[in-house]
Amino acid sequence: MLAADLGAAHATLALCDLSGRPLAEAVHEIRLADGPEPVLGWVEQRWREMLDASGVVAGRVLGLGVSVPGPVDVATGRVVHHTPVLPGWQDHPVRDLLERRFGVVCVVDNDANAMALGEHHTAWPGSSPLLFVKVATGIGAGVVVDGRLLRGADGAEGDIGHVRITSADDGPLCVCGARGCLAASASGRALARALREQGEDVPDSRSVVELASTGHAEATRLVREAGLVIGDVLATAVSLLNPRVLALGGDLALVHHFVGAVCERLYQRTQPQSARGLQVVASGLGDRAGVVGAARLALEEVLSAEAVDRALAGRRQPVP
């Protein structure tokens, strides 16, 4: 299995066996903004180098899994609408292109879904439902119920970053063009912008985390405030889903003040029966959740009843 977790500035690539165990894994710097053709050509090249270095012939690869930071129609393997992080990727045939290059099935999904699946199978295989929330440059969520990802009708499930948290038109402007979205106040991008306006050198959400980890008072305050606001929105999700586990991933989940603030607000805003058995945790996989989940997506496709039926039909000998 070959897996790729593509972020705005970093990609994690892996070669895994059929149990999901990584045979090779590497993190590289990339620029998704360069567009799909150069980025996917680069991914193919790195994957082939990984196979060569591991002594695995390309013919033994059974499936590909790719996660991207945007909404995906899993049925077609395409990014469904424009997002600022994925300029030029909308409607590009990511899945079909990679399937043609390698001659095996490929699954493309959004990063929060892949992370949710990776976290579920690695750390919480017996816990259902599991709600995974990624808070990094943007904010997204994935839900795993009885071991399977919950799919929306149009590939937009879990897109909680653009829930409007203010009804007034004077809320902060979001990258989606609307005002008052959760992501415009509480994402890593928003916190980095707020700190830059105060003269700090924080280009991205990881820098916010690094600053907060040094005990910087304003960075810590902003991260905690973001946790409270996200906790407000998640109180609705917890009331709706009654999850057993809420796993927080992405850069901000590395700050314990953030996780604590989400917890604090959740327990204030939900009924005891919704939250009594809820475990709120930071992702155990951390930065690896996406690539582990991407490998799992490929594995589930390769081992699906339909795929096994197709393989058996191809091998079936005629009865004499």
**Binding footprint of Zn ion on the chain (CB under 5 A):** 162, 174, 176, 178, 181
Rounded to a whole number of angstroms, the minimum distance from the CB of residue 135 to Zn ion is 14
* Cβ nearer to Zn ion, comparing 14 with 80: 80
Residue 180 CA: distances (Å) to CA of 21, 83, 201: 42, 17, 25
* Cβ nearer to Zn ion, comparing 33 with 163: 163
Backbone phi, then psi, for 210, in 5-degree steps? Answer: -65, -40
* Cβ nearer to Zn ion, comparing 98 with 181: 181
* Cβ nearer to Zn ion, comparing 166 with 220: 166
Rounded to a whole number of angstroms, the minimum distance from the CB of residue 230 to Zn ion is 14
Residues paired with 10 in a beta bridge: 29
Rounded to a whole number of angstroms, the minimum distance from the CB of residue 289 to Zn ion is 23
Q: Which residues contact 240 (CB under 8 A, 6 or more apart)?
A: none
Rounded to a whole number of angstroms, the minimum distance from the CB of residue 253 to Zn ion is 21
Rounded to a whole number of angstroms, the minimum distance from the CB of residue 181 to Zn ion is 3
Widest CA span of the chain, in angstroms? Answer: 81
Torsion sign (Cα): 268, 272, 275, 279: positive
DSSP per-residue string spanning 55-106? T--GGG--EEEEEESS-EETTTTEE-S--TTSTT-BT--HHHHHHHHHSSEE
Q: At 11, which amino acid appears?
A: A
* Cβ nearer to Zn ion, comparing 181 with 211: 181
Rounded to a whole number of angstroms, the minimum distance from the CB of residue 157 to Zn ion is 16
**Among the listed residues 5, 8, 7, 6, the one whose alpha carbon sits nearest the alpha carbon of residue 16:** 5
3-class secondary-structure state, position 180 = coil
* Cβ nearer to Zn ion, comparing 181 with 280: 181
Q: At 237, which amino acid appears?
A: A
